Structure 1
Amino acid sequence: MNEPQLIQQILETTKIIAVVGLSDNPAKASHGVSKFMQSRGYRIVPVNPAIESALGEKSYPSLEEAVVALAAEGMKVDLVNIFRLPQHLPPIIDDVIRLNLSAIWIQEGIVNEEAAAKAEAHGVKVVMDRCILKDRMAAGWQ
């Protein structure tokens, strides 16, 4: 978890990011980070049952519905970026494992060692308590 080569690999190979907890409120970190990532070519797929859309993309009430919708378009989720409190991570991790997704990025300030360990035990690549935007900027974005 959080190894520099893992972070680099995820940042270089990811094209589609499902953002669990993405808000349609521009004042929220999930919105700002996702908007910037989108502006740099990543496709952002909102996963939030409380909103209809964000950043010009349809929002899905669950990770499973997002994965199914993308599959219907011949695409797949490369990374699940999580903006949810630590106590909400276990069911998200269960979904990631069940849906056979390969990588999760748990945003800065969010820590649940047990959930992260479970994901890793099932072969999921995990980055936790780090900001994807800050790491991407450190890797060369201006």
Structure 2
Amino acid sequence: MNHDHYDDAFIADWLGKVRTIAVVGASPNPARPSHGVARFLALHGYKVFAINPGQAGRDIAGLPTYARLADVPEPIDMVDVFRAPEYLAAVVKETLALSPVPKLIWSQLGVRDDTAAATAEAAGVAMIMNRCPAIDIPRLRLPAIGSVK
């Protein structure tokens, strides 16, 4: 897949399919983008889990927080990555070890690793990089999850 550009329909389709999202690198600091995006996604109707090893068992943005993806007690549809690009391959590896495997890995603005994307895609997991769902949802005027039948 060409990760230099994504069609709006591709983005909208994925955001309409997923229901559960794990935000890797979620911060307890309300000033951090990862905190705000996790909160935005939850308010938009997604079931969101924060992933932060130093905050496991605590609350981030009103969300349950776990140390690792494998600790989330239910299947995850999308992994949203707020980590530096050099950590993306490790997040892909951790994602691919889950059962069931999430359908989509989304990396935030500035986070791109084409080799990690190729690994995910070879395993049947879609990859969207260097984008933010909290920007794309309002830009595409997508309704809140569950508000449209």
TM-score, structure 2 as length reference: 0.84
Matching residue's letter, 2:103 = S
Matching residue's letter, 2:44 = R
Report if aligned partners of 2:78, 2:106 keep a CA contact under 8 Å in 1: yes
Which residue does 1:82 correspond to in 2? 81
Which residue does 1:34 correspond to in 2? 38
CA apart distance, 1:47? 0.7
Matching residue's letter, 1:43 = K
CA separation in 2, counterparts of 1:83 and 1:26?
A: 14
CA apart distance, 1:5? 3.0
| Root-mean-square deviation over aligned CA pairs | 1.5
| Matched residue count | 135
> Which blocks of at least 5 consecutive residues in structure 2 are unaligned?
144-149
Which residue does 2:18 correspond to in 1? 14
SS in structure 1 opposite 2:66? coil
SS in structure 2 opposite 1:17? strand
CA apart distance, 1:82? 0.4
1:4-48 CA distances to partner (integer Å, 9 max, x unpaired)? Answer: 333111111111110000011000000111111211111110011
Which residue does 2:71 correspond to in 1? 65
CA separation in 1, counterparts of 2:90 and 2:61?
A: 25
CA apart distance, 1:95? 1.4
CA separation in 1, counterparts of 2:114 and 2:120?
A: 10
Which structure: greater helix fraction?
Answer: 1
Identity percentage over the alignment?
Answer: 35
Which residue does 2:126 correspond to in 1? 125
CA apart distance, 1:126? 0.7
Matching residue's letter, 1:133 = A
